[in-house]
């Protein structure tokens, strides 16, 4: 290790330890918490809250309004038929079951999900059925098939969703883009949405920790006058903590946009661009990775997540702060046209069309795997595997 690299690592460790001690001190001081926490004062004591988010008032519901006894009573005459056992089916289904809700599962027999469900304790003929049978037994049909499969199976499923049942989605995709998906919902049933803001694995892990994931809910069609209440109750039953009001349209546009942007595609592209330049300019793989991904995910992004962007700036050196404050507008200006293109592609249905076409192929799993293999084998992510082994917690 060269003296410069050693000094750099020492400096970096020192700045991280300064950041940590700043964090610890600030965490102890309520006054030092980001102002958003201080201003988000609920206007009602408990349950439904109107919260001022940066000047805009929004309604948020919380799970304390729906204790388990109330949920059990509310759904005592229902059977929740969850169709599909992918990421969301796993998280929502197991949470419902652990909450003592009357839930059964419907998946195609002997497929990957059928086997996974049996491994997780769902019992064929008791709590696990082929899709059509589960729908026939259910009063609330929770459609958690993949979005492409929702479209593909709709001609078979639609006639089974008869008057008096409720149709539930975890994404606005199928009804909002019905010109492409052909999912025209029946006219005589409540149609609602609960969209957890995270993967089904997180829906499950937060539930097991006694916390709840944040979700949004929406009503597409209210026949009974109870659709909204039912959506909120179901959101809590599947493991949500706070539940934000939205519409099917807003949910699907923002979700498709976000996952292609900052949540996944955009951040991956930015990591790659920064890493490639560092490597092309002669930096070692570990240095390029540490300065691009490791410090971001292990030190700085958690600060943004816990206390906010201003706090993260504040926890860093004046050198870092000066440079980052100068450069962020350039990145924003360079990226904004790409984000506008992306939003247009979401709104005009191009992204939906692409997703439907790709994910309807019989071999979609194998094709995804081929592309993920390319990602896995990229130098940056191979380096990440080695760097993770050297983390303090792994020593
Ligand atoms: N994943 C997330 O982070 C997330 C977050 C919020 C909302 N959502 C929404 O939740 C819903 C479910 O998403 P997901 O990620 O959990 O599911 P997924 O993994 O995309 O879907 C898998 C399920 O669909 C079934 N399936 C696929 N093709 C089928 C077909 N032709 N016929 C019958 N079943 C078929 C699979 O069964 P087999 O095993 O038998 O193939 C499996 O049970 C979607 O609307 C999604 O947008 C997802």
For residues 249 and 219, what is the distance between their CA atoms, to the nearest angstrom? 10
* 392 vs 47: CA distance, rounded Å: 41
The rounded Å distance from CA 377 to ligand 1 centre is 26
Helices (H) and strands (E) in the chain, counts: 21, 10
Nearest to 193 by CA among 165, 157, 160, 218: 218
CATH topology (fold) of 49-246? Rossmann fold (3.40.50)
pLDDT (tens, 9 = 90+) of the chain, 395 residues, equals 333 333 343 344 444 443 433 333 333 333 333 333 333 443 444 577 888 888 888 889 999 999 999 999 999 999 999 999 999 999 999 999 999 999 999 999 989 999 999 999 999 999 999 999 999 999 999 999 999 999 999 999 999 999 999 999 999 999 999 999 999 999 999 999 999 999 999 999 999 999 999 999 999 999 999 999 999 999 999 999 999 999 999 999 999 999 999 999 999 999 999 999 999 999 999 999 999 999 999 999 999 999 999 999 999 999 999 999 999 999 999 999 999 999 999 999 999 999 999 998 999 999 999 999 999 999 999 999 999 999 988 87
Can you give the pLDDT at residue 46? 58
**Is the CB of 195 inside a 6 Å radius of any atom of ligand 1?**
yes
Question: To 5 degrees, how large is the angle CA 272–CA 347–CA 52?
Answer: 85
Q: Phi/psi of residue 283, each to 5°?
A: -80, 150
Residues 6+ apart with CB under 8 A from 157: 83, 131, 132, 135, 141, 143
- For ligand 1, atom 37, the nearest C-alpha belongs to 113
Across the strands, what pairs with 65?
Answer: none
Catalytic residue, chosen from 61, 171, 268, 283, is 171
295 is in an annotated binding site: yes
- Domains of the chain, by residue range, sit at 49-246, 260-394
Looking at the domain that runs over 260-394, which CATH code has it been given?
A: 1.10.1040.10
Half-sphere exposure of 256 (CA within 13 A, CB side): 28
CA-closest residue to ligand 1 atom 21: 146
Q: What is the per-residue pLDDT for 324?
A: 98
Nearest CA to ligand 1 atom 35: 149
d(CA 238, CA 206): 11
* 200 pocket-lining for ligand 1 (C-beta < 6 Å): yes
Query: Is residue 259 part of an annotated ligand binding site?
Result: yes
pLDDT at 17: 40
Span from the CA of 85 to the centroid of ligand 1 (angstroms): 7
Whether 171 sits among the annotated catalytic residues: the reply is yes
């Amino acid at each position: 290790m060269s003296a410069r690299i050693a000094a750099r690592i020492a400096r970096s460790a020192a700045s991280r330890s300064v950041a940590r001690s700043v964090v610890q001190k600030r965490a102890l001081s309520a006054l030092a918490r980001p102002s958003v926490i201080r201003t988000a004062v609920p206007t009602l004591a408990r349950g439904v809250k109107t919260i001022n988010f940066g000047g805009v008032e929004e309604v948020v519901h919380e799970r304390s309004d729906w204790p388990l006894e109330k949920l059990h009573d509310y759904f005592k005459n229902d059977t929740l038929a969850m169709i599909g056992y992918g990421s969301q089916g796993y998280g929502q289904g197991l949470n419902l079951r652990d909450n003592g809700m009357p839930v059964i599962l419907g998946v195609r027999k002997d497929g990957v999900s059928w086997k996974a469900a049996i491994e997780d304790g769902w019992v064929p003929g008791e709590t696990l059925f082929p899709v059509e049978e589960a729908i026939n037994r259910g009063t609330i049909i929770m459609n958690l098939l993949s979005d492409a499969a929702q479209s593909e199976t709709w001609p078979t499923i639609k006639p089974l969703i008869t008057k008096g049942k409720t149709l539930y989605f975890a994404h606005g995709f199928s009804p909002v883009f019905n010109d492409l998906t052909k999912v025209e919902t029946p006219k005589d049933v409540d149609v609602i949405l609960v969209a957890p803001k995270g993967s089904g694995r997180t829906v499950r892990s937060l539930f097991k920790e006694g916390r709840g994931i944040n979700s949004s809910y929406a009503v597409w069609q209210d026949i009974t006058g109870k659709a909204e209440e039912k959506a909120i109750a179901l959101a809590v039953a599947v493991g949500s903590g706070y539940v934000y009001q939205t519409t099917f349209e807003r949910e699907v546009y923002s979700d498709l946009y976000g996952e292609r942007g900052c949540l996944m595609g955009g951040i991956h592209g930015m990591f790659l661009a920064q890493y490639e330049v560092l490597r092309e300019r002669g930096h070692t793989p570990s240095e390029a990775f540490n300065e691009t991904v490791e410090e971001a995910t292990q030190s700085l992004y958690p600060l943004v997540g816990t206390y906010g962007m201003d706090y993260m700036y504040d926890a860093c050196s004046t050198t870092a702060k000066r440079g980052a404050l100068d450069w962020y507008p350039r990145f924003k200006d360079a990226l904004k046209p790409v984000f506008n293109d992306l939003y247009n592609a979401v709104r005009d249905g191009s992204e939906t069309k692409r997703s439907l076409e790709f994910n309807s192929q019989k071999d979609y799993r194998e094709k995804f795997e081929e592309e993920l293999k390319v990602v896995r084998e990229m130098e940056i992510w191979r380096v990440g595997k080695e760097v993770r082994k050297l983390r303090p917690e792994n020593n």
